[in-house]
Amino acid sequence: MRMASSETTDGTAAQAEDYIRRSLAHLWIPTQQPNELAEDDALLVIESGEGVMLRDSKGRQYIDALSGLWVVNAGHGRSELAEVARDQMARLGFANAYAYASPPAIDLASKLAAITPSNLTRAFFVSGGSEAVETALRLAKQYHYNRGDQKRFKVISRIGSYHGTTMGAMSVNNASYLNRTPFEPLMPGSIAVPNINCDRCPYEKTFPECDVFCARTIADVIRFHKPETIAAIIAEPISTAHGSWVPDAQYWRTLRALCDEYGIVLIADEVITGFGRTGTWFGMEHFDTPGAGPGTHVQADIMTIAKGLSSGYQPIAAALASEKIAQAFIGEAEDTFIGGVTFGAHPVACAVALANIAIIERENLVENSARMGEHIAGRLQELAAAHPSVSATRGVGLMQVVELQRNPESGEDFRPEDAIGKRMTQALREEGILSRGGASIQIAPPLVINREEADNLVDGVDRAIRRVELELNLG
């Protein structure tokens, strides 16, 4: 079934053209050059959405295979959330969060304390994921500072991981597609270590014999830099930017043990993995602590959340801190946390996020993510067997990925002239699928997806890969 039907009639067509003309002149789209889309009608103007579907200004329909950007967990078109926003705006549209609390902020902070890992008790609200990471780094640094451990300013992050684009977040941001050079020097003391990758192990080892060497060897980095200078380790529980590897629990247990041994703050960046994306409420729930009782998972000291927190209906994010962290900010006046943004704990955003969490609970969307994720994963395995260019499929819940190479047998990657990113994104679009295409195709639809929609999604991806294989004469 093909979703993107092209029709452009009279007024709609004229308006669509006008949107594109003015967008190219005035709207600067991140990661694109200001004139990049001029020649080839590549710019989509998204006008509306319903469930897993999106509609553009030319009336074409698409399956939103990326939930916007791993954001719209509750699906598009939730007028219930519009009503919550309207009611809250009518009651209180803004409060100075530096000085006051508001009922929605209190309710949301309490709810988060109830549904996140049990050690996390405090919510510091900001407007987006980068700010949440920024806040987590500041919390970690000042936590040590307040306790008299004032040499700890270094932060360990992992090559390939993504944590945002503000300067602090960018400093711990090592996604391979980012060019950090124009912004250097970045935050002093940012130390990048190799990531986990059991397909192409940076240390050429094999799991389980390696005994998670990639985590254990971080101890050498800590000792080299002197433990008393290291403030934090930051990592995504499962990194989409680095291939959606689901590490063995021992990986995270090892990070936790290193942090305990050397007094380092452990930050779990759950900006993508939170709120059901991986089939559990939070990504860290995939990593059990043996001997600590059933359902007890590795606990981070700080967790960052954004995206699915409000399903994107309002811009809101948070750094959640454990009581251990919070206690270091109680004391003299100068112990107060230095951070915050004007739009932090925004009452409308908090009210909408709370209602969004209620939808996720009421409609069992976390369970649906696990169920549909398993179904899609099975279908992707079949698809892999039928395509000469598919080298791997992996993921958990509704965070799946299909990886392609020119020749998986010889390990040959795509060539620059293949323009695989642009080519695959376009092929997907022509099959009615919106996602980020390339050598990795991300499959992360809203958690409301049903079986028929999931099958349509995989069928569309299947046809798009076939198109690209034919164009590039693969297999």
E strands in 3-149:
46-50, 53-56, 61-64, 120-126
CB of 14 to ligand PLP, least distance (A): 34
Could you say which DSSP state residue 414 is in? P
Percent helix, strand, coil in the chain, to 5, is 40, 15, 45
Answer yes or no: are the C-beta atoms of 117 and 320 closer than 8 Å.
no
Q: Which residues contact 98 (CB under 8 A, 6 or more apart)?
A: 340, 342, 344
Termini Cα distance of the chain: 25
Give min distance, CB of 249 to ligand PLP, in A.
20
- Least distance in Å: CB of 168 to ligand PLP? 11
Nearer to ligand PLP, 344 or 408 (CB): 344
Whole-number minimum distance, CB 339 to ligand PLP, in Å? 15
Minimum CB separation of residue 234 from ligand PLP in Å reads 9
Residues making contact with ligand PLP (CB under 6 A): 128-130, 133, 162-164, 236, 269, 271-272, 306
- Is 304 or 426 the residue whose CB approaches ligand PLP more closely? 304
Closest CB to ligand PLP among 303 and 474? 303
Q: Which of 472, 399, 471 is nearest to 441 (CA)?
A: 399
* Residue 108: CB minimum distance to ligand PLP, A: 17
CB of 406 to ligand PLP, least distance (A): 28
How far apart are the C-alpha atoms of 291 and 236, rounded to whole Å? Answer: 24
446 DSSP β-pair partners: none
Instruction: Name the closest residue to ligand PLP (Cβ).
Output: 129
Stretch (H or E) spanning 379: helix 365-386
How far is residue 424's CA from residue 433's CA, in Å, rounded to a whole number?
11
Helix (H, G, I), strand (E, B) or coil at 395: strand
> Would you say 263 or 315 has its CB closer to ligand PLP?
315
Q: Is 320 left (phi over 0), alpha (psi -120 to 50) or beta?
A: beta
Residue number with CB closer to ligand PLP (142 or 173): 173
Q: Rounded to an integer, what distance in angstroms lies between the CA atom of residue 373 and that of residue 383? A: 15
Please identify, using beta-carbon distances, which residue of 69 and 101 lies nearer to ligand PLP: 69
Helix (H) or strand (E) holding 431: none
CB of 314 to ligand PLP, least distance (A): 12
DSSP classification of residue 415: P
Nearer to ligand PLP, 240 or 405 (CB): 240
- For residue 229, the minimal CB distance to ligand PLP (Å) is 24
Burial of 175 (0-12, 13-18, 19+ CB in 10 A): middle
Q: Please state whether 364 falls in left (phi above 0), alpha (psi between -120 and 50) or beta.
A: left
In the complex, what is the shortest distance from the CB of residue 306 to ligand PLP, in angstroms, rounded to a whole number?
5
Backbone φ, ψ for residue 230 (5° rounding): -95, 120
Q: How far is the CB of 390 from ligand PLP (least distance, A)?
A: 24
Sheet containing strand 302-305, strands side by side = 120-126, 317-322, 302-305, 265-269, 230-235, 154-158, 190-193
**For ligand PLP, which is the closer residue by CB, 170 or 458?**
170
Which residue, among 189, 169, 154, has the nearest Cα to 317 in the 3D structure?
169
Q: Of the two residues 269 and 403, which places its CB atom closer to ligand PLP in the complex?
A: 269
Residue among 271 and 461 whose Cβ is closer to ligand PLP: 271
Query: Closest Cα partner for 437 from 447, 423, 449?
Result: 423
Beta carbon nearer to ligand PLP, 237 or 347: 237
